[in-house]
Amino acid sequence: MKPEPSLSARGAPHPSVPLPVGLGAFGPGARIQHYELIRQLGSGGMGTVFLARDTRLGRRVAIKLLHTKDAQFTQRFILEARTTARCGHENIVIIYEVGEAHGSPYMVLEYLQGQPMDRLLKASPRLPPSRAVELMSPVLRALSCAHAHKIVHRDLKPENVIVTDAGTIKVLDFGIAKVLQGDEHGAETDPRVLLEGLRLLPPPGRMDESLHLTRQGALLGTLAYMSPEQWGNGVGVDHRTDIWAVGIMLFRMLSGRHPLEPLRGPQLMVTAMMDEPMPQLRAVLPDIPAELASVVDRCLLKPKEQRFPDALAVLRALEPFLPGRFIPEVGVDESPYAGLGSFQEEDSARFFGRTRETAALVNRLQDRPLLAVVGPSGAGKSSFVRAGLVPVLKRSGIPWESLIIRPGRDPLAALASMVAPLVTSSPTLEEDLRKQQQISAHLRREPGYVGAVLRARARRERRRIVLFIDQFEELYTLVPDAVERRAFTACLSGIADDATSPIRVVLSLRSDFLDRVSEDERFMAELSPGLFFLTAPQQDGLRDALVQPAEMAGYRFESPAMVDQMLQHLETTPGALPLLQFAATRLWEARDPGRRLLTQSAYQRMGGISGALATHADSVLAGLSSQERALARAVCLRLVTAERTRAIVSMEELRELTRDTEALQRLIDGWVQARLLVIQTGGSSGSSVELVHESLIGSWPTLKRWLDEGQEDAAFLEQLRAAARQWQAKGRDSGLLWRGEMADEARRFQRRYRGELPESQRAFLDAVGAQATRMARVKRAFIVGAVALVSTLFAAAAVTLVFIREAQQEAEHQAIIALRAEATARNAEFLAKRSEAEAQERLAEVRAKEEDRRAAQSRAEEANAQVEATNETLVLRNSELVTALKRAKWARIRANAEMRRAEQSALIARQARAEAERLLQREQERTLRMQSTLGSPFIETLK
């Protein structure tokens, strides 16, 4: 049987590979339940694996279809797969569902992206002990979980172990495992009998060590990894069969060969010969540690009772050989913690909490020449590469050399200083500097020069080289010239130009600078596939980073609750790892050497993580000048809200605090390096800044004093920020400027406030002040005008009195004239009344005539209305009559048609009747002739 296909996306066969007989109904686009097949990933003797999408949950899965139509085997397979699915473990591939489609059993599994372990072993046949144990430990944890559920793998081998891109190790193919129903005792069987059950035997001389036993009813497995009981030595198969396979895998990892090499295929049947022990590991590899060799040898003892009792026991025996467990002695006064500094390569023994990420990056490094470790500030990117990746590469069994530089202000000079010692050696320092300057100038003309030098060195030394560019964001913070930046990235492209090259380039880059890389489109395109995002460690990783260095130095924490308290404090803290290292360093300085404890009382005396951080903040502040301290005060106050919580402030807003943006950037970068601030990548608003931890607000006395001093202005500043932001967003609308009491408060604030304000807020206050000044001027002008108006009114009143007196005299004179005129008017009124009476009489007559005319007109209108109604009725009846005439006409036409059809029917009926009469007459005549011919006796007989 062929090896089972990997569930990895890598190495997938070409889509044109034909499906095995019986699976022709399955192909891209086909559906199994709510799963839609995408493409074929691989095919083996046991089944075919497809990549599919789960249309219900919106995820990608792998579906394995078995090559069988045997109903009994299908039922057994589904039962065992469902039992295996209940065995949930992070190192066992997840089985989502099992079922049957078109008579073929299928299994739905999680889709893994990575590569099988056998590919790693082909790249590096011999592994260092720590690396081999590191790879096998997850496998043993998976086996321990499966064995606890009474499940035996039976076919454990490197091809069935996947190292995912995320660094997780997954064990596959429990599909042929058998659920143990108590002890199995098989009859003693000659191995040759089993070999006769092979469906396919290769030609002589071409026996493959991966040959499988596939006869139904026989024990299943891969010859090279089968235990004596699987070969039929008369002993039942149980979980110790998997321990045998673990021993074979460890032997092969450590020595680069199978224990029974050069035996192949059926020759391996000697495994079942109990009187012939397996070769010892130290006989093949004398320099291996004796304790490790004894673990491997015990796994390969043929009597299964003499092997380790379970997988957990093997794991415990291998743990002392895990990476970092071979620890050099730590000095009495030497701290096992790194504090706020980065871990270096020599600190790898005390670097914990990043095992999975390191394995993932090593896996990515195999086929990616250019990688970037991207993460927020405080995630530990430099430490991860220096103390995690580089030591693991050097322990991998392949010769690796590491070169480390930082771009600095002159990145090409940094490359030149690295290359110069590799090219030539100079007797004097001046000659070295001159040589570096020449190389730096040469790199501008030929950016591929560094790559050529490194590849030549790798070939000459027969080793691989990893070039680590630490703090890659310095290329954008310290190098203002875009041409210089492009020259540097062109050199990096020339170094990491192909996956087959022995050179690897790794960058560490703060995530808020990732968008700056796109200024060089070619370099960004090459870097994009190699982005490796490093987040803050999970709680388990932080616990390892806290507890294991102390244990390495022979110390322990006084109580588990103390560790939980420290981890809980950092649970939601950005940049938690360096803060934890810093607090642990202070705690180490206050340790109890007598009891070899890190005590709770020492932790409380230093004020916990908050107190240690406040002390550190004061020391950073003490190193600033008076101008920098004033700017730091303004920045800190801006990073705290009026409710004294952390504020997330954009870099653009902080730049408005001062006109010296370079000084602000230096301050921010320095405090980020000191782990007091963190910068995070935002969305459309760009990068944002915040205090590293909430506890600084309450536990740092200096910041608390600044906040108390500015308490009076805190609420006003909050209002000012909101008002200025709205005013700016509305195009500086004058209608949004403060007036009245708020404008007066703004003036008082400007007189007393001595801190820095953002430009937008200063402009808002200036506009409020200018508006208030304009309004005051308008008010003064109004008062002056009002006084002038009143004076004018008084003068006008005096003149008016004179005119009034003269008017009174004139009025008296006019009154006499008016009396005379009144008498005349009365006479005229009498005459007018008489004329009016006459006019009223004539008007009444006219009105009567008008009423008669209106009545006549009304009667005429009513008569017209009746005529119109009559006309409408006539028109309607006429229309109905026309319609009735049309209906009558159509009725006559239909009646005539019916009459014609009736006449035709009558004619046909008459014709039919005549025909019937003729036929009857003929029949009577025929009957008479027969009577006359045959006579009456025959007629009686017929009757």
Catalytic residues: 155
Q: Among candidates 327, 315, 379, 352, which has minimal Cα distance to 134? A: 315
Alpha helices in 233-351 (DSSP H): 240-255, 281-284, 290-299, 311-318
Other C-beta atoms lying within 10 Å of the C-beta of residue 152: 22
Q: How far apart are CA 669 and CA 677, in angstroms?
A: 9
Transcribe 370-432 into DSSP letters.
Answer: EEEEEE-TTS-HHHIIIIIIHHHHHTSSS-EEEEEE---S-HHHHHHHHHHHHH---SSHHHH
Q: What is the dihedral of CA 420, 423, 429, 434, to 10 degrees?
A: -70
Residues 6+ apart with CB under 8 A from 153: 143, 146, 160, 171, 173, 174, 177, 242, 245
Residue found under tokens 């009792």: 309
Give the pairing of strands 104-110 and 161-164.
unpaired
Six-digit token string for 470: 């630490």
Name the burial class of residue 99, with classes exposed (0-12), middle (13-18) and buried (19+) by CB atoms within 10 angstroms of its CB.
Answer: middle
**Do residues 628 and 635 touch, judged by C-beta distance below 8 A?**
no
- 476: which residues sit within 8 A by CB, 6+ positions away? 485, 513, 516
Q: Which of 756, 722, 375, 385 has the alpha carbon at shortest distance from 576?
A: 375
Answer whether the bond into residue 262 is a cis peptide, omega within 30°: yes
Phi and psi at residue 467, in whole multiples of 5°?
-100, 120
Residue 393's nearest CA partner among 698, 127, 6, 36 is 127
Cβ–Cβ < 8 Å for 41, 49: yes
Residues in contact with 241: Cβ distance below 8 Å, sequence separation at least 6, in sequence order: 152, 154, 227, 229, 230, 304
Angle at 912 between CA 911 and CA 918, to 5 degrees: 90
Whose tokens are 């960058």? That residue is: 507
Asked if 308 and 288 touch (Cβ cutoff 8 Å), the reply is no
Is the Cβ–Cβ distance between 369 and 497 less than 8 Å?
yes
833 belongs to an annotated ligand binding site: no
Which token pair is 823? 């008498």
| Residue 692: exposure state from Cβ atoms within 10 A (0-12, 13-18, ≥19) | buried
Q: Of 498, 529, 693, 681, nearest to 608 (Cα)?
A: 693
Residue 150 CB neighbours (<10 A): 16
Which residues have C-beta within 8 Å of that of residue 689, sequence separation ≥ 6?
639, 648, 649, 650, 651, 654, 668, 677, 678, 679
Q: Which residues contact 620 (CB under 8 A, 6 or more apart)?
A: 670, 671, 674, 676
Half-sphere exposure of 292 (CA within 13 A, CB side): 24
- Distance CA(630)–CA(668), nearest Å, equals 13
Which position has the token pair 């002890």? 183
The residue type of 935 is G
Q: 38: helix, coil or strand?
A: strand
Q: Name the 3-class secondary structure at 592.
A: strand
Q: In the 8-state DSSP scheme, what is residue 516?
A: G
Looking at this protein, which amino acid is placed at residue 768?
A: V
Which residues are documented as binding site for ATP?
Answer: 64
Which residues are documented as binding site?
Answer: 64
